[in-house]
Structure 1
Amino acid sequence: MQQLKAKEQELQRLRKAAEERADVVEDYNEYVLKSVSSGVIAFNKEDKITTFNQAAKRILGSEEEGLIGKSCAEAFGEGSGLCRLLDSTLQRSEGSHRSELEIVKKNSERIWVGISASILKNRKDEAIGFAKLLSKKIGKNDPKQGMIEAIINELNTMEMMINELLSLGKAQPISLKPVDINKLIRNLLIKSMGEVKEPKPKIDVNIPSDIPNIMADELLIRQAFTNLIQNSVDAMSEGGELKVEGKYHAADGIDKMVEIVIMDTGTGIPKDKLDKIFLPFFTTKPKGTGLGLALVHKIILSHNGRIEVESEEGKGTVFRVYLPAVPL
């Protein structure tokens, strides 16, 4: 009963954190929209205007208050260049569409404007899009660049937290197929190190080229090892060494297993907390959600594998992951 109450309290904490982050996103959107000299108009999936900033109002000579909630045709006229561009962008379903259009303002003045239209899948993409727009306008050396980067990081953290919470709470279908674990791990390390700030940890990979493939759902296994690698990197904020080894156990009980070992020289985990790290909502990080390793544990078990951990506070942590190998 106490554990249930604790989990409920943790869910409330996470929900509150998500709401606070969402408020930050909304405030930031407003700040960016007022700061840029470019006109910004956003439409929802029902083709209704949701955003119309001051610059767009100035360029087009329109009143913002009267356009929110209207369709493109209602706001700018059926068959207008702006609406044609919107339709063209929606048909492309991805990427961006750039064009130059002649706009007729309310006072009959004709102006040519350069327009770029893009599809934003969600509020996070919208906020990041606005952030990048502002980043281009203010220049690389502007002090606001640090704030923009912080907001983008916060948005990515919010998305990760929500995705992990959803993944942890539902049964996921598993599509097993042979996966080249050697290639997968090496690609993940390249990607992860590309995103790490200095000082970066030294990387040492020792996975035999002839190690067997594993039977796995590649997307889920990729998520599990991404979380494990990120966990190790987070523990080495001042640099260190990350070692990854691969082994093949030809006779591990009934099944033949591939073992992947991830070792770091980070802060380590206190001994009294080691048996709790795979529990949902348990974390030793100041800003951790307690969902990453719980999701790893769930994914590995769902593949008929197992995960073990050893750690010494102040010296580092070792994760050992065992997964069924494809029969040779």
Structure 2
Amino acid sequence: LTVLVLFATTWLALYLSKLVTRPIAALAEATQEISRGRLDYRVEVTAADEIGDLVGSFNRMAEELEISRRQIEASSHDLSAANVALEQRRRQIETILESIPTGVMSLDAGRKITHVNQALLRLFSTGEGEPSPSISVGSNLKDVFSADLVEDLEPLLRRADRMGNTTTQVEIGVRGTRLNVAVTVATLQKLGYVLVFEDLSDLLKAQKQAAWREVARRVAHEIKNPLTPIALSAERIRRHLRRGTPPDASSLQIVQSCAETIGTAVETLRNLVNEFSALARFPAAQPVPADINSIVEGTLAMFNGRLDGIHVQTFLSSDLPKVMADSEAIKRVLANIVDNAAEAMNGSLVREIQISTALLANREAVEISISDTGHGVTQELKERLFLPYFSTKKRGTGLGLAIVSRILEDHHGSIRVEENQPVGTRFVIELPLYPQEAASPAAQHA
């Protein structure tokens, strides 16, 4: 009996130990398999109580690890595909940038060059196909361009920070010549800037050649017009003189009439020549700090008693900062536009001119607006309005607005034409602020 009890006890002890050791051994083996990367391995041994819970938890953990690995592999595949697509897109953009004829430069937030394309290197090349050695990645903007160009670019960079992007036209000295370049600056928020340089020299040259061909054609036509009555009047006088008879009252009247015709025609030619002289030999503007409201008031004083039947309204903003302006030249600009406005309202039921001034703090400029209630201008006319010898009036030489444009270019200002509401035309002039005033216009006009 003792032996039987001892045997049963031993067998029971071995059985109970296997209930613990087999799951533990299976878990140890499973741990080894999991560590080798076999996340699909599961513990198949059944167990009870806490050991069973441990086996179940282990299998769930292994399943979750397998699911996580599959998700990581899928994400890694998607990331690799996205990286490939980004690399292709980057190469495509670089190919486009290297192919376009427009110069492109990118800067980081510290104004250092991060990329330039070949067109920019060609634009600023020092010789026959030799790129500028100073334009390289990592160079500072001030080390690459001349002080004058950097001085022009600095306000553009500040304006781009405020407005997102901005465009202007500048003259750049390259290889001993002056190029007319359109510069566009776009901000990348805190990442830096993109600068686009487009050489407009050939386009402007072609436009000027076409404009002056039109000038030559129109001048020839305008000169022929007064020459015809001069020739006819001279011929009538010559016929009367050939008669050899003493001049009577009728003959004297004819001669007087012919002389007046010749005088009128000569005066027309003189006015034409004077207009061209003003355009060709116009004195360079000498901008100084000036009060734009005083200039506007001085211009209107020139029209005292000359704008009968026209209601003139002024809306001049008070406490405007000073602008850089040659007072007499800007008066000439404003007078020309006011005169054109008065002419455009002939026959209009409502004849009204409104002149206003305002500060454009985000552009570091002052805006002068002159609007009328005339017949307005079409889009085609807007594009040609400032060309030499183009006019919508029956009288005049068509040089007035060309001179206006010339004066504003000398002031680094601008002019544009818009439709006035509800009728008429609106001319908008922008003049740069005096630099000291431009430093903090918002603070001065809060």
TM-score band, normalised by shorter chain: 0.5 to 0.7
Q: Which amino acid aligns with 1:271?
A: Q
Q: Which amino acid aligns with 1:195?
A: R
**CA–CA distance in structure 2, aligned partners of residues 302 and 162 of structure 1:** 23
Alignment of 1:250 with 2:361, yes or no, is yes
Give the drift of 1:312: 6.6
**Counterpart of 2:392 in 1: which secondary structure?**
coil
Find 2:299's aligned residue among 175, 185, 188. Answer: 188
Q: Which residue of 1 aligns with 2:344?
A: 235
**CA–CA distance in structure 1, aligned partners of residues 290 and 221 of structure 2:** 38
Task: Go from structure 1 to structure 2 and tell me whether the alpha carbon gap of 1:240 and 1:14 turns closer, same or farther (over 3 Å shift).
Answer: same
2:323–2:432 contact (8 Å) kept in structure 1 = yes
Q: Which residue of 1 aligns with 2:425?
A: 317
**CA–CA distance in structure 2, aligned partners of residues 314 and 267 of structure 1:** 11
Q: Could you list the per-position Cα deviations for residues 27-46 of structure 1 after superposition, in whole angstroms to 9, with x for gaps in the alignment?
A: 9xxxxxxxxxxxxxxxxxxx
Relative CO higher for 1 or 2, CA cutoff 8 Å, sep ≥ 6? Answer: 1
* RMSD (Å) for aligned C-alpha atoms: 3.3
- Larger Rg computed on CA atoms: 2
Alignment of 1:172 with 2:283, yes or no, is yes
Alignment of 1:212 with 2:321, yes or no, is yes
**CA–CA distance in structure 2, aligned partners of residues 321 and 297 of structure 1:** 10
Given the two structures, how large is their TM-score scaled by the length of structure 1? Answer: 0.53
Task: Go from structure 1 to structure 2 and tell me whether the alpha carbon gap of 1:249 and 1:18 turns closer, same or farther (over 3 Å shift).
Answer: farther
Q: Which residue of 1 aligns with 2:221?
A: 13
- Percentage identity across paired residues of the two chains: 29
Task: Go from structure 1 to structure 2 and tell me whether the alpha carbon gap of 1:17 and 1:176 turns closer, same or farther (over 3 Å shift).
Answer: farther
**CA–CA distance in structure 1, aligned partners of residues 323 and 216 of structure 2:** 37
1:307–1:320 contact (8 Å) kept in structure 2 = yes
Q: Could you list the per-position Cα deviations for residues 28-77 of structure 1 after superposition, in whole angstroms to 9, with x for gaps in the alignment?
A: xxxxxxxxxxxxxxxxxxxxxxxxxxxxxxxxxxxxxxxxxxxxxxxxxx
Q: Which residue of 1 aligns with 2:411?
A: 303
Superposed, 1:154-165 pairs within 5 Å as 161-165=272-276
Superposed, 1:245-284 pairs within 5 Å as 245-252=356-363, 256-284=364-392
Which is richer in helix?
A: 2
Given the two structures, how large is their TM-score scaled by the length of structure 2? Answer: 0.39
**Structure 2, gaps ≥5 residues long:** 1-208, 235-259, 438-446
1:271–1:311 contact (8 Å) kept in structure 2 = no
**Counterpart of 1:251 in 2: which secondary structure?**
helix
Which is richer in strand?
A: 1
Q: Which residue of 1 aligns with 2:441?
A: none
Q: Could you list the per-position Cα deviations for residues 58-112 of structure 1 after superposition, in whole angstroms to 9, with x for gaps in the alignment?
A: xxxxxxxxxxxxxxxxxxxxxxxxxxxxxxxxxxxxxxxxxxxxxxxxxxxxxxx
